[in-house]
Amino acid sequence: LIQTTNLMAQYSANYDESKVPPLILPDPFVSDKGTLIQNISDWENIRRPELLEIFRREVYGSIPKDFDFISFQIVSENQNPYPDEAELKEIDISVTRNGETHTMRLNLFLPKSQKSAAPIVLLINYKPADPAIGLVEEGFWPVKELIAKGFATASFHGETVAPDDPERFTEGVIGKLYPEELAKEDGMRTFGAWAWGAMRAMDYFETEPRIETKKSAIVGHSRAGKTALWTGVNDSRWAVVIPNESGCGGAAISRRKFGETVKIINTAFPYWFNENFKKYNDAENTLPIDQHMLAMLVAPRALYFSSAREDRWADPKGEYLSMKLGSRVYSEIYGKEVSFPLEFEKLEKPIIQHYAGYHIREGKHNLTLEDWDHFITFMELNFSQQE
Quote the least distance from Cβ 13 to ligand GTR, whole Å: 10
Judged by CB under 6 A, the residue of 260, 311, 315, 371 near ligand GTR is 260
307 three-class SS: strand
Nearer to ligand GTR, 208 or 319 (CB): 319
32 three-class SS: coil
Strands 302-308 and 240-244, by their bridges, are parallel
Quote the least distance from Cβ 297 to ligand GTR, whole Å: 20
Quote the least distance from Cβ 219 to ligand GTR, whole Å: 14
235: contact with ligand GTR by CB under 6 A: no
222: contact with ligand GTR by CB under 6 A: yes
Quote the least distance from Cβ 106 to ligand GTR, whole Å: 21
The C-alpha atoms of residue 41 and residue 359 are separated, in whole angstroms, by 31
What residues between 296 and 335 interact with ligand GTR by CB under 6 A?
none
2: contact with ligand GTR by CB under 6 A: yes
Instruction: Candidates 1-9, 98-106, 136-144, 368-376: pick the segment binding ligand GTR (CB under 6 A).
Output: 1-9
Quote the least distance from Cβ 48 to ligand GTR, whole Å: 26
Amino acid (one-letter) located at 170: T
Distances (CA, A) of 116 to 151, 215, 313: 11, 13, 43
Catalytic (active-site) positions: 222, 365
Pattern 5-34, ligand GTR, x by CB under 6 A: --x---------------------------
59: contact with ligand GTR by CB under 6 A: no
Nearer to ligand GTR, 4 or 103 (CB): 4
182: contact with ligand GTR by CB under 6 A: no
Q: What are phi and psi of 361, to 5 degrees?
A: -115, 165
Nearer to ligand GTR, 28 or 225 (CB): 225
Nearer to ligand GTR, 58 or 260 (CB): 260
**Beta strand segments in 222-308, E:** 240-244, 302-308
**Beta strand segments in the chain, E:** 69-75, 86-97, 100-111, 118-125, 152-157, 211-221, 240-244, 302-308, 351-352, 356-361
Q: CB under 8 Å to 369, separation ≥6 — which residues?
A: 138, 139, 142, 145
> Does the N-terminal peptide bond of residue 316 adopt cis geometry, omega within 30 degrees of 0?
no
Quote the least distance from Cβ 60 to ligand GTR, whole Å: 14
Q: What are phi and psi of 289, to 5 degrees?
A: -135, 175
What residues between 262 and 301 interact with ligand GTR by CB under 6 A?
265, 268
Give the rounded distance of the alpha carbon of 236 from its chain centre. Answer: 13
Nearer to ligand GTR, 208 or 260 (CB): 260
Judged by CB under 6 A, the residue of 93, 147, 248, 296 near ligand GTR is 248
Name the β-bridge partners of 216.
120
Quote the least distance from Cβ 247 to ligand GTR, whole Å: 5
DSSP string, 144-196: HHHHHTT-EEEEEEGGGTS-SSTTTGGGTHHHHH-GGGGG-TT---HHHHHHH
Q: Which of 111, 131, 127 is nearest to 119 (CA)?
A: 111
The C-alpha atoms of residue 294 and residue 233 are separated, in whole angstroms, by 7
Name the β-bridge partners of 70.
95
Judged by CB under 6 A, the residue of 192, 220, 247, 357 near ligand GTR is 247
Instruction: Candidates 2-10, 104-112, 141-149, 196-204: pick the segment binding ligand GTR (CB under 6 A).
Output: 2-10
Question: Which positions touch ligand GTR (CB under 6 A)?
Answer: 2, 4, 7, 222-223, 247-248, 260, 265, 268
